[in-house]
Structure formats: structure tokens, C-alpha cells
Structure 1
Amino acid sequence: MTLLIRGGTVVNADRAFRADVLCEGGKIVAVGENLEAPAHAEVIDAGGQYVMPGGIDPHTHMQLPFMGTVTADDFYTGTAAGLAGGTTTIIDFVIPDPKQRLMDAFQTWRGWAEKAAADYTFHVAVTWWDDTVHEDMGTLVKRHGVNSFKHFMAYKNAIMADDETLVKSFRRALELGAIPTVHAENGELVYQLQRELLAKGIRGPEAHPLSRPPEVEAEAANRAIAIAGVLGTPVYIVHVSCAESLEAITRARARGQRVYGEALAGHLVIDDSVYRDADPEVARAYVMSPPFRSSHHQTALWQGLQGGNLHTTATDHCTFCAGQKGMGADDFTRIPNGCGGVEERMAVVWDAGVNTGRLTPSEFVRVTSTNAAQIFNIYPRKGSVSVGADADVVVWDPQGTRTLSAATQHSKGDFNVFEGRTVRGIPTHTVAAGKLVYANGDLRAERGAGRYVERPAFTGTI
């Protein structure tokens, strides 16, 4: 298929310029002014709009079995929703059960993902340790293009990695040229605070943020950074939600340590008042970890993005419907953790970032696409509108508006954490692998069209 995007302003992470973009065979084959299109080419008029790299969401959970249930969005519905919002690649998570071989879990997730409508790749979680984990990490890097491994410092008695596991896995990742990623919350502290709140009879969703205060996140972030620093391993902190964690990252980076931070779109614009909603069903819908924070933390996160100490924006897209969230109606610790957002992320970040002057359009591209591609070693194949890159492109109308709502979203979740928010700046067209998959509200996602993306190891002694 040949496709010409004509008359727009190309925005990359380094610069913006007027150019047409010609896509053929799933690749960008020309970028320049006044390009000639073959007679059979499909033409998109991008006049008055931006032409940007397709979004990369580096943190999603599609079809995730968790807390006794499975997320509402599978790899097809979740990636299709992403395409409608301008996201053309996701990095999801393979999460082995305790004592399960990493390779067995990886093959299971690969099977689930075959229905994806957009490109996908995986972080693989290290939830326990023995010699087989050491072996499987090597196999995943060398044969399957996995270059990142996830570590949950939370969820005691389930998937929490203790310090021994962190040290051994971080060291192995360094040997292999892979990067550890970390969910930073002190799982023991969370567990004890949960028990105390329940003993006091505080059982509703308002207890969730009380059991996971900023100090719990900051302690774990500091510990992970310290371990990585001793070993000389780069580290990526997922869903940074509070000023204290950002401070830990900023201090480490000032010392020259290679630490990266990720912010969620939800944490940038939603505060903790949602847990005190008069309707407990609504309050439960916002339960995710780390929780939404008070407003001064949102200010800090924006400063982190502006100052270059937070590098990516993600969603932690993990959708559970009201019936599933209701499993914790009488015990907040049983509410499945997770919220949606893969469709809304880019519009929310543009509206709250670019429209307020916090971010330039090029900085927006950096934090929604390019930085993720560079950190996880798929740049410039992804994250760039340039010759030779994958033809993953979003045409963006900076004046277009949309009101975000569960009633109109493509996700299969029955709640939208951004409900009622009107955003200015929306995608009009999304191109994935050279195919027009979204056009002015018409979603043309194809089941199984997504490709598994291998990510090469960084320099290392494999």
C-alpha cells in the first residue's frame, strides 16, 4: 500500500518542518516538500495539522490475569483503542507466576498477543529467582528480542521481588545488555498499613491511598536506585507518581547515574479526591497503584517532564469493569488495581502539556514516543518521522476537540478516568505499518495486524 500525507508540519523530537510524507511497504520512503504520489496512492490532506511519530505506550497490561480476574481489554481491543488515540506501539508485560519458567510465561503472552491490531513488544517480569531464571533471561535477550525486565517491589505474597532477586536480576540484566524496570513501592510497608486500616474498620476505597503514601513509593525508588548504582546498572522507574520519587531520580541523575522515569497520563491530571467520591463504585474505579496523589505532586511531575528527569508518558492501561472492582466492595485490598487510558493518553498530555505551555510540540513527541523508542532500543525504527522508519504516523489537529467518555471510548472498560474532560488537540488520522487504521472517527483496526517487535540488546557481554 502506498500512502502520501500531504501539506502538514512534520514534528520530530528535534525539530518541526513543513513536509509531505510518503509511505510504502510499511516504511517511510520519502520526507520532503511537494512529493509526487503514484497514481494508486491514497492521499491524506494534513493541511493545518501536525504529522508526528505514532505514540509508544511503554506500560500496558492487556489480557492480564490479576487478583482473581482478567482485564476487560485483550490485545485486540486494547491496541485498537490505542490506534484511535494515536498510539501505534505498546510495550506490555509478561508476568510469570511464582516459580513459573520465564520462557513458559513468555510463550503464553506471545500467543495472547497474536490478535493485536498494533505493534507490540514485551517487558518480562522477574518475580522469583533460581538458575532457570538466569538462563531464561539470556534466552529472551539473545533469541527473542527482549531487552527489559520488570521488578515489582510491591504485592507481597504474590509477585513481589525481594532484595536478593533484585540484585541478582539487575546484575544479570547488565551482563546481557538489558535494562531493569521497577514498580517502586515497599510491599512490606503496604501490607502492614493495609492490615492496620482494616483493623480500624476503614475498608472502603478511601483507604487505598492511605495504605500507599508517597513515602512508601519513595523508599522503594531510593532502594532500587541504590542497588542499580552499586552494580552500575541503568534502571527505569515506572509510573512515578510523587514528588519524593522524582527527587530520588533527580538526585541520582545529578550524580551521573543512568536512571529513567515514567509518568502516567492519569497521575499528571487526576488528584486523590476521586477516592472520596460519594459513589463508592466510582471511587473503586480509580483504584490503581501507585494511587492518584494530591495536586502538588502533579505539579512536580510536570516539572520532571519539563526538566528532563522524567522521560516517558504511559498509561498502565489495565481495565477492570464495575463488577470486577466490586469484588473489593467490603475490603479495599481486594479491589483489582488498574485503570484505562491507552486511547486518551496523547490527547490528555497534549491538552495539559502543550496547550498550557508546559511542553513544546517537539517535547510532546519526545515524551510520548521518541524517548521510549530510544530507551528501549527501537529508535529510529520507531519514534521518528524519517526515511527508513516504520510508517507509524499520527496526523494531529491542534484545534480539534473531543470530550472523553466511557460512552464513546473504544476500550472495553466501562469507566473512563478522564470522564467529561474536553481536550483540544486530537488525532484525525493514524497510520500503522503504512495502513490507514483511523480516519476522522472511523476506526479500521484489523485483528492480528500487529507485529511483534524485537528490541536488540544494548552493549553487553552476551
Structure 2
Amino acid sequence: MALLIRGGTVVTAETTVRADVLCDGDKIIAVGPDLEAPAGADIIDAGGQYVMPGGIDPHTHMELPFMGTVASEDFYTGTAAGAAGGTTMIIDFVIPSPQQSLMEAYKTWRGWAEKAATDYSFHVAVTWWDDSVARDMGTLVQDHGVNSFKHFMAYKNAIMCEDEVLVNSFTRAWELGALCTVHAENGELVYHLQKKLIAQGITGPEGHPLSRPPEVEGEAANRAIRIAQVLGVPLYIVHVSCKEALEAISRARAEGQRVYGEVLAGHLVVDESVYRSTDFEFAAAHVMSPPFRSKEHQSALWRGLQSGNLQTTATDHCCFCAPQKAAGRNDFTKIPNGTGGVEDRMMVLWDQGVNTGRLTPNEFVKVTSANTAQIFNLYPRKGTVAVGADADIVVWDPKGTKTISAKTHHQNVDFNIFEGMTVTGIPSHTIAAGKLVYAKGELRTVRGAGRYVNRPAFPSYFEALKLVKDINTPKPVTRAAAAE
């Protein structure tokens, strides 16, 4: 069935132009003025609105088993909620248990994701190391379209990677042409501070940010960057929350290193005062890692996004309801870490970014879809409105308003970190794979309609990096040459 989006202004990362968009099946087949609708085509009136590529959230955790419980959001409810907010694809995380086969975990997550309403892909975490992990990494890249591997530098005694694992996994990723990603927090320091605070009688949610100060994130970010620099592998740092980590990224990029940074919508607008609430359920609902920071760090993150030193925006969508969070009522280290946002990310970023002048509409497209598509080798299939691209599109009403609330959101969680925020700039229609999945408040998603998307590795790009590294690497000096 054909679909014509008529009368809107098409906004991509590069251009802004008045044009119609014609979709047939799951592809865009024409972009231009005054397109004719084929017989029987559905027509969306986009007059006075923007037509942009659907959002890509590069960091979600649907139905994740974590900290003794399972995230409340599954792949259907989560992707459906994303569609209601203009997001048409997620990249979720396969997280093997220690000593679990990467392929076994990957197959489990693929099974869970079959219910997804929109397209999805996976990063795969490396949580331990032996020769079988190296083999599985090769199978995932070559046979299953996985081109990125995640490394947790936090969560000691669980999924934390020691430096030896980082070195081995980064080296293997280099061989495969895959991208390395890290959760940058010094897990040893976090563990030490947690024990110290508990011993001092600080057991409530206020202890969470105290145990994870900005310095532990900055140290880990810098360490990962320098390991990647020595090994010559590109690096992507997830959920950058503080200026210390941002400064490490900015410094490395200024030195010519290929490092990318991701920022969460929540870290841009929610500050650390939430942890000081006397209402346990409210404070615990905000417990995530890294924690929310002071307004000083928020300002730095906005500057990082504006300057291009942070390239992508995400949510780290990982939902736990109040009864689950209550597991840590007497010990903040046992509060399941995670918050929501997959439905709200684009609206919050438009309201706080575009409406304030921090971002242009084109920059909004860059940080919500295009940059992610390019970094993770989805472009130009995703991240643009162009002939041949997937028909993943959001029609955006810049004058539409909405008050965000857990009472009205589609996310399967009983709390919203943006509760009560009134945003201007909302999706009126969302199209995923050529199907209208959201229209003026009506959710029309179909369980299982989402497709797994392969992301090829980057062999030619890595070969170019290898050439540069070889040129710049000092050659060994022989004893004879030294004598001369």
C-alpha cells in the first residue's frame, strides 16, 4: 500500500526543503514537490509540519534480567512506546551472564525481540574472556550483522570488565572491523565508596550519586580512551553524564582519535536534587548509573552536543516499577538501576534543544537519528528521508503541545522522570517500514511487525586506520643502526 505525506517541510541532517514524500511498501520511492498519489494510496496532510527521519535510540534495555529482577518493559511495549514518541528503531543490548556463551545469549535476546513493533538491532556485551568469546564475536560479526560490542567498566562482582578483558576484546573487535562501546565508571572505586557509605549509615537513594561521583566516570572514560588509542580501535562511550568524561572525549577528538560520545535526554534536563527527596519511591525511581548530575554538568553536556563532541542522544531505557525498586529500601546498592524515556526523548530534545536555540532542526535530526545511523553503519537505509531509504518517518508538529505523565504515557512503567514537563513540538504521525503506527494520539502498532536489522562491520574503514597507525608507529631501531 502506497502512502503519501503531502505538504510538509522535509528536514534531514543536511537540508530543509518543502516537499512531498511518497512511500511504497517499506521504502521511500520519491521526494519532491507536488507528487501525485497513486490510486488507493493513504494520504497524510503534513501542512505546517516537519517531515523527518524516525528517531533511532541507540541505547535501550528491554526486558533485561538485572539485579535480581527483570525490566518491566518488553520488546513490544517498549518499541510501541517509542513509536508514540517518533522513534522507529532501537539498538538494544545482549548482556551474557559471566561465563555464558555470547551466541547463547544472543539467541535468547533474538527470541524475546520477535514481538517488537518496530525495527531493532543489538550491541552484544563482552562480560568475560576466553577463546570461545573471541570465536563468538567473529560469528556475530560475520553471520549475524553485529558490529558493536559493549563493555561494562562498572558492576564489580557481576558483569564488570577488568582491563585484561578490555584489551583482549578491543583487539578482537579491531580484527573484525567492529566498534567498541563502554559504560565508563570505575567499578572498583564505586564498590569501595558503596561499602564506605553503607558503613556510615547512608543507606537511602541519596547514597547512590555519592558512590558514583563524576571523577569515577571521568577516570574510566579516559582509561578506555587511552586503551583504544594504543590498540588503534574506534570507541563509543555511552551515557556521558559529566564534564570530566566529556573533557576526556573532547581532548581525544582534538588529538585526532576516533571517539564518539552519547548523552541521555535525562542527563540533559534532570538534576541530582531528585536523590535528596524524602519520598523513597520518588528518589529510587531516579536511580540509574551514571546518576543524574548537577546543573553545571548539564550545561557542559549541552555544549558538548552543540559542539559535536557528543554525537548521539539516547535513553538507556531500562524500566523498573516501584515494587522492584523497593528491593533497595534499606540499601541503595540493591535498588535496580534504570529509568525510562524511549517515548519522550525526541519531544524533550526538541523542546529543550530546538525551542531554546541550542539546536537547529537539522542538528536535531543529526543527534536523534542520522549520527547514530552513520556511526553504527545503518546509513542511508536509516537516518534520512531520501529515495531508497526505509520508510521510517516522523511527521512533527512544532506547535503541538503535550504534558508528559506516567498516567498517559505508553511505557510499561509506573513512573516518568519527565513527569509534569509540558513540551512544545510533538509527533503527529509516525510511520515505520511504510506503515502508519501512530496518528494524532492513536497507537496503531502491530506486535511482531519489527524487523531485525543487520549492521555490517567496517573492514575498509579499519584498514585505512591501520595504514595510518602503521605510518605513525616508530620503527624499531637495530643495534647496527644505533651505532651509526
Q: What TM-score does the superposition give when structure 2 sets the normalisation length?
A: 0.95
Match in the other structure for 1:101: 101
Matches within 5 A, 1:234-273: 234-273=234-273
Cα shift readout 1:210-256 (whole Å, capped 9, x = no counterpart)? 00000000000000000000000000000000001000000000000
The reply on whether 1:400 has 2:400 as its aligned counterpart is yes
Counterparts of 1:174 and 1:365 in 2: how far apart (Å)?
Answer: 29
Cα shift readout 1:329-354 (whole Å, capped 9, x = no counterpart)? 00000000000000000000000000
Counterparts of 2:175 and 2:48 in 1: how far apart (Å)?
Answer: 48
Match in the other structure for 1:338: 338
Match in the other structure for 1:353: 353
Q: CA deviation at 1:277?
A: 1.2
SS at match of 2:103: helix
Residue identity opposite 1:41 in structure 2:
A
Residue identity opposite 1:45 in structure 2:
D
Q: CA deviation at 1:89?
A: 0.3
CA RMSD between the two structures: 0.8
- Deviating beyond 2 angstroms after TM superposition, the runs of 4 or more aligned structure 1 residues are none
Counterparts of 1:149 and 1:278 in 2: how far apart (Å)?
Answer: 39
Counterparts of 1:303 and 1:160 in 2: how far apart (Å)?
Answer: 30
The reply on whether 1:162 has 2:151 as its aligned counterpart is no
SS at match of 1:236: strand
Larger radius of gyration: 2
Match in the other structure for 2:480: none
Match in the other structure for 1:383: 383
Match in the other structure for 2:222: 222
Counterparts of 2:288 and 2:445 in 1: how far apart (Å)?
Answer: 28
Q: CA deviation at 1:278?
A: 2.2
The reply on whether 1:75 has 2:72 as its aligned counterpart is no
Match in the other structure for 1:448: 448
Match in the other structure for 2:119: 119
Residue identity opposite 2:350 in structure 1:
W
Match in the other structure for 1:147: 147
Cα shift readout 1:401-458 (whole Å, capped 9, x = no counterpart)? 0000000000110000000000000000000000000000000010000000000010
Match in the other structure for 1:53: 53
Residue identity opposite 1:82 in structure 2:
G
SS at match of 1:58: strand
Residue identity opposite 2:369 in structure 1:
S
The reply on whether 1:366 has 2:366 as its aligned counterpart is yes
Counterparts of 1:448 and 1:229 in 2: how far apart (Å)?
Answer: 41
Counterparts of 1:173 and 1:301 in 2: how far apart (Å)?
Answer: 29
Match in the other structure for 1:208: 208
Residue identity opposite 2:143 in structure 1:
R
Residue identity opposite 1:405 in structure 2:
S
Match in the other structure for 2:298: 298
Counterparts of 1:33 and 1:296 in 2: how far apart (Å)?
Answer: 45
Match in the other structure for 1:279: 279
Counterparts of 1:331 and 1:22 in 2: how far apart (Å)?
Answer: 55
Match in the other structure for 1:190: 190
Residue identity opposite 2:66 in structure 1:
F
Residue identity opposite 1:444 in structure 2:
R
Cα shift readout 1:125-165 (whole Å, capped 9, x = no counterpart)? 00000000000000000000000000000000000011000
Cα shift readout 1:353-392 (whole Å, capped 9, x = no counterpart)? 0000000000000000000000000100000000000000
SS at match of 2:81: helix
Structure 2: unaligned runs, 5 residues or longer? 464-484
Q: CA deviation at 1:459?
A: 1.6
SS at match of 2:459: coil
Match in the other structure for 1:428: 428
Residue identity opposite 1:12 in structure 2:
T
SS at match of 1:59: strand
Residue identity opposite 1:130 in structure 2:
D
Counterparts of 2:17 and 2:428 in 1: how far apart (Å)?
Answer: 19
Q: What TM-score does the superposition give when structure 1 sets the normalisation length?
A: 0.99
Counterparts of 2:3 and 2:278 in 1: how far apart (Å)?
Answer: 50
Structure 1: unaligned runs, 5 residues or longer? none
Counterparts of 1:398 and 1:302 in 2: how far apart (Å)?
Answer: 21
Q: CA deviation at 1:70?
A: 0.4
The reply on whether 1:129 has 2:129 as its aligned counterpart is yes
Residue identity opposite 1:413 in structure 2:
V
Cα shift readout 1:289-324 (whole Å, capped 9, x = no counterpart)? 000000010000000000000000000000000000
Match in the other structure for 1:317: 317
Counterparts of 2:19 and 2:278 in 1: how far apart (Å)?
Answer: 51
